[in-house]
Amino acid sequence: MATALDKGDALHRAIWAIALPAMLTNVATALFGLADLWVIGQLGIPAAQAGVELGAKFMMGLLVVFNFLKTGTIALTAQAAGRGDEAAQAAALARASGVALLIALMPLAIPLGLDFLNARGAFAEEARTYVSIRYWGGPLWLVNAVLVGWLVGRKKVRAVLVVEVAANIGHIVLDLLFVLGFGWGVAGVATATLLSEGLKLAVLVGVVAREAPAAMALRAAFRRATWDKASLGALFRINRDLFLRTLLLTGAILLMARDGAREGPLVLAANGILYQLFILSALILDGFEASAQVLCGEAVGGKDRRRFDRLIRALLLWGLGFGALVTGAYILFGAPFAASFSTDPAVTATTLAYLPWAVWLPLIGVTSYVYDGIYVGATWTRALLVTMVAAFTTYALVLWAAGSLGNHGLWLAFTLFFIARAAGQALLLPRLRRATFEA
């Protein structure tokens, strides 16, 4: 009995050893968007705040579809760590970095997508100003995604936290200086974000260089075996599925921004504030997703089915408990927090009218976050894509059917999107688990 309890305690400690630093890291990451929207909101100009919101969504659509560089690297690195294979960890870093650099050499896009997002009038010009500056930080973002994923896969989550905190302190200082100090407005927000991405890359390179397999990665990059068909096939199989899955997720968020823009700058600005509350809670709860990616990846790599099963139960329980805690915090403090993002009374009133949707999303969405981590860690990426297709189809149908409900219909569809994702993942998990451990 004592042994079982000790094992249980060790399991929970292992979860929190990754989840807590990941939560703090993700909060630091969320400060990028929060600081931008809060600082520009102090100007009291709805068009400027709406412009930053739409420009940021455009850049998210451009870059977040490549987030597979991070999640795929986490999974492959964690599985290599589970086998105790440092050479495979080095090769994973070399391959993912090569893919990132290849993507970075290509033109990411021509900033015409703002028309798709219904950018019109004054806030369209503000959005174009934002994108024209922020666009050039794309290559920095891609390389940062690989380096962060590799460090997380090696359980160096605290190091990532230090990097995120340093980059965000710099970002907030630059935001305040450029927008409220120099009066650069939207251009100041974009410039601060661009420079902070550069700072983040510089610090990440320094941290990665201190890891033993990093030197091996440089040598691995010049070995033919690193780029053999089987190794690249595994990388691109995982990344292909994750790319398509992330494309659908990003599409859902862009459709939300597009439909919000149809309602005008007030609703668009309000939705931008509510989205920041949503993304803050999602990034906090993604700490359990990070734990699931690494620990489930190790369990699969070590062929330890019993540990894998115990991890699933513990991660879901911790996730639901913490999701309830975040929702409770939003019930108590969400209204004044949301109201602080604008000095315009009309924007504040519109935000508070739709606030309940953002309040309950942490509890509703957390199960899908945890399942995402389990699926990525186990490299069940094709199944992850299938469940995302089903959820996106549900989202699109509800969005169409609930059009008469206006912005409430938009948030209803977004909420059901997370419920559909979790339901599909729960349904497929038993079969996938049997196939993985009985093969």
pLDDT band for position 343 (50/70/90)? confident
Q: What is the pLDDT of residues 58-98, one digit of tens each?
A: 777 677 767 777 877 877 787 787 777 788 888 888 888 88
Best CA proximity match to 62, nearest among 130, 98, 110, 95: 110
Question: Considering the chain, what percentage of its residues have pLDDT values greater than 70?
Answer: 89
H-state helical runs in 221-354: 229-262, 265-301, 305-339, 345-353
The average pLDDT across 404-427 equals 94
pTM for this model (two decimals): 0.73
Res 257: pLDDT: 79
Give the up-direction half-sphere exposure of residue 249: CA atoms within 13 A in the CB hemisphere. Answer: 23
Q: What is the pLDDT of residues 375-409, one digit of tens each?
A: 988 889 899 999 999 999 999 999 999 878 889 99
Question: Considering the chain, what percentage of its residues have pLDDT values greater than 90?
Answer: 31
Contacting residues for 175 by C-beta, under 8 A, at least 6 apart: 35, 36, 39, 188, 189, 192
DSSP letter string over 300-317? HHTT-HHHHHHHHHHHHH
Question: What's the length of the chain?
Answer: 439
